[in-house]
Chains A and B, each alone.
Chain A
Amino acid sequence: MRSSPAAPARQGTVRQALARDRVGMPSVWFFLMSGIAPLTVAAGVITSAYATTGLTGIPFAFLAVACTLALFVPGYMAMSRHITNAGAFYGFIARGLGKPLGVAAALMALLSYSLLQVGLWGAFGPAAQAEAQAHLHISAPWWAWALAGWALVTALGLLRVDITGRVLGVLTTAELAVIIIEVIAGLAHPAGGHPSWAPLSPRSLGAAGWGTAGVLAVVAGLGYVGFEQAPVLAEETVRPRRTIPAATYLALAVIAVVYTASAWALSAHAGQAHVVAAAASQGPALMFGMAGTTVAGIAQLLFLTSLFAAALAFHNAVWRYVFSLSRERVLPAFLSRTGASSVPTFASLAQSLTGLAVILIYAAGGWPPMSDLFFWGGTTGGLGILILLALTSVAVIRFFAAGDGARARESGWARLIAPALTAVILTAIVVLAVGHYATLLGVAPGSPAAWLLPAAYAGAAIAGLAWAAFLRSRRPGIYASLGLGAAAVTGQRAPVPGDYS
């Protein structure tokens, strides 16, 4: 029997039906923005950054990092057109730089996203504590509220409840609206009668020494975590070649403006010379108080929902990552077993148990949650993302250098120039940040945390390389399918058009 020869290419019923299910640009954009949690960053990260680092160049840092990430996007999008892998960094680095580095990147990504998720409890707990005290007159320690939030996220994670697109869209829009109101109020009432433009100057990056530019970049980079998720939606999007990059650039632009303006407004309202002390004493309230008590009340509530939504989103992101790694046996197979609700139960519980352990450790240790858990966890998680972005940029260059045919049709800008520039800039940022990690954490030089936290990534990388070596020697079949994503299951890199003779 012979199979059917090719027929004229017109879109049939199936493709038309599937196309109707696909989402457009607004859905993709809202998906990105909701993962970024704007008020969490504007009120939580920025005020904590001022207070912890003592650096005032934060506003320009957001602009500089946005430009760097905009350079990252062309190569990233180009490679995502040739590779479909839900564990994006892992898949890209495995295909571009080899399987051992891919496995190393997988464990680093897992560490990074886990830190980002568990760090959120350090802000959620105190925020819930403050709201409960003010409105319900209930007094309980921050960790009790963090545990309550944790329990809810655990349950919702197992039930596979994501906050629905519409609810998330409303919350994100409200967050952006509140931030804009606060920013306008802050800039309209500057200390000293007029806002200083100095924080928007490139020179502000080096005001405390150019070595601290890396520290500022890590803080700013944390604000953009989530923008890299857009290719995850490629298969569900209308015209993905156009929609995914457009949504990503739009998200970067909006975030850059919002965060730059937020950081500038805080500096202007408190005064550049006093913003560090004001942030240390008031925390997120420094942001909320710029536009009066009514807006402050709404902002505080939205801050709480923003943190919760971000915690749930990152929880779901972590178990999805674990699932995709487990599917390829980078992680143990049982982690990809799904129960009812199609949730990989063990993966979801593993992430939850990590969060529980961290909350209990911080509660027992009596350490300040906002600085030592939220800010340390968040910035260290952000450092990991920057490392992975740098590695991915190099992977893009090698991937396209090694290929021909369809790969050669991508532009030289996407294949080489943009990723090369990005790799150099991000590597410099990472080196500078690690060299000044004590400044980032707000601790004395030589403090154990200043080398332990960044060293965790080296540990994850070494573990990944060792595991890859083990798979290569003892499980060659599994090793051969590393980095292939769904093709690890089907045995095909991609359906071969016309190849059915």
Chain B
Amino acid sequence: MSHYPPGDAYRSAVRLEASRLAGTGRIADDLWLIAHHEATGRLHLPRRATGVGMAGGLLAELLAVEVPAVTVHHGYVLPLRDRSGTLTAMSARPDEPVAAHVLDAIVSEPTPLPARDWLLYLGKTAAASVAGRLERSGYVARRRWRLVPVNPDWSHCALLRAHRALEQARTPAPYSALLAGLVLACGLEFRFWSGFPGAPVRPAGEATATLPGPLRELVAQVQATADSTVLSTRK
């Protein structure tokens, strides 16, 4: 009995598998896969810390595009305007619904807010929003009451993409540097120890030094906010 589907179906399955190993290309999606156990879907961190990391990922998606609609400056998340004074968000609204929802929330606030406030606010729902996005993309599926990665290899690949930025032999690519920065900032560093024991790595600051200013500042804000959840008496 053959183990593989015949002809075209097989090739389609192989192409799909290869694309899933490459990830969705969205930072928050990779962060979700790293923050949850690849077999059980359980959180590696307490809920608040995970939420802060995921919120950072969603904000990073808005910043790390060709025409960003927001920026992080002096500790604030600020909607950007073009030369005519029009909000960039009007013309550069992301197609992806979760990212669009985050952008809408930012531009609808009456006054600019500190990044920390956004990370805590978005952190309440970020993990669920991103999980829903991954479920629609076929990366996770519901098993009983929890969403679990369909294939553990896809989670390992997400971790690998982050770890690449820390390998001393490589020049960190922007996506990897940003992902690694967020992984370290929200307290998931131990995922690297278990996934790549003994591998020589460059310091986190060196990996993110190549990022543009707003993204570096976002990573720093995620770290500071995640640190505050460590110090907090609440989980």
Q: Which residues of A contact B (CB under 8 A)?
A: 1-4, 6-15, 17-18, 21, 31, 86, 160, 162, 232-233, 235-236, 320, 323-324, 327, 337-344, 486-487, 489-492, 494-496, 499-500
Report whether A495 and B78 are in contact in the complex, using a CB–CB cutoff of 8 Å: no
Per-residue A-contact encoding for B168-191, CB less than 8 Å = 1, 0 else: 000000000000000000010110
Chain B residues with CB below 8 A from A489, complex form: 220, 223-224, 227
Which of B75, B120, B223, B228 lies at the interface centre, i.e. has the most chain A CB atoms within 10 A of its CB? B75
Q: How far in angstroms is the closest Cβ of chain A from B160?
A: 20
Report whether B81 and A340 are in contact in the complex, using a CB–CB cutoff of 8 Å: no
The 4 closest A-B pairs by CB, nearest first: A495-B75, A486-B224, A12-B109, A495-B114
| Selected contact of A338 from candidates B82, B115, B117, B187, CB within 8 Å | B187
| Selected contact of A500 from candidates B76, B118, B189, B226, CB within 8 Å | B76
Report whether A1 and B190 are in contact in the complex, using a CB–CB cutoff of 8 Å: no
Q: How far in angstroms is the closest Cβ of chain B from A1?
A: 5
Task: Give the number of A-B contacts (CB < 8 Å).
Answer: 130
Q: How far in angstroms is the closest Cβ of chain A from B56?
A: 13
B122 nearest in chain A by CB position: A14
A31 nearest in chain B by CB position: B233
Q: How far in angstroms is the closest Cβ of chain A from B101?
A: 12
Report whether B85 and A2 are in contact in the complex, using a CB–CB cutoff of 8 Å: yes
Q: How far in angstroms is the closest Cβ of chain A from B27?
A: 20
| Selected contact of A4 from candidates B78, B83, B121, B226, CB within 8 Å | B78
Known contacts A7-B111, A341-B46, A342-B230; is-contact A18 B117 (Cβ 8 Å)? yes
Question: Counting CB contacts under 8 A, is B105 at the interface?
Answer: yes
A14 nearest in chain B by CB position: B121
Q: How far in angstroms is the closest Cβ of chain A from B234?
A: 7
Question: Counting CB contacts under 8 A, is B112 at the interface?
Answer: yes
Report whether A3 and B231 are in contact in the complex, using a CB–CB cutoff of 8 Å: no
B120 nearest in chain A by CB position: A18
Per-residue A-contact encoding for B104-116, CB less than 8 Å = 1, 0 else: 0100111111111
Report whether A160 and B227 are in contact in the complex, using a CB–CB cutoff of 8 Å: no
Q: How far in angstroms is the closest Cβ of chain B from A398?
A: 26
Report whether B221 and A490 are in contact in the complex, using a CB–CB cutoff of 8 Å: yes
B203 nearest in chain A by CB position: A333
A14-B121, A86-B231, A339-B190 given; 6 more Cβ-contact pairs under 8 Å: A1-B83, A3-B81, A232-B231, A323-B231, A340-B45, A342-B187
Q: How far is the CA of A345 from the CA of B49 in the complex (A)?
A: 16
B87 nearest in chain A by CB position: A4
Report whether A13 and B109 are in contact in the complex, using a CB–CB cutoff of 8 Å: yes
Report whether A14 and B113 are in contact in the complex, using a CB–CB cutoff of 8 Å: yes
Chain A residues with CB below 8 A from B208, complex form: none
Chain B residues with CB below 8 A from A4, complex form: 78-81, 87, 112
Question: Counting CB contacts under 8 A, is B235 at the interface?
Answer: yes
| Selected contact of A2 from candidates B81, B114, B121, B223, CB within 8 Å | B81
- The B113-152 residues at the A interface (CB cut-off 8 A) are 113-118, 120-121, 124
Q: How far is the CA of A15 from the CA of B228 in the complex (A)?
A: 18
A486 nearest in chain B by CB position: B224
B124 nearest in chain A by CB position: A17
Q: How far is the CA of A342 from the CA of B46 in the complex (A)?
A: 7
Report whether A495 and B74 are in contact in the complex, using a CB–CB cutoff of 8 Å: yes
Q: How far in angstroms is the closest Cβ of chain A from B179?
A: 18
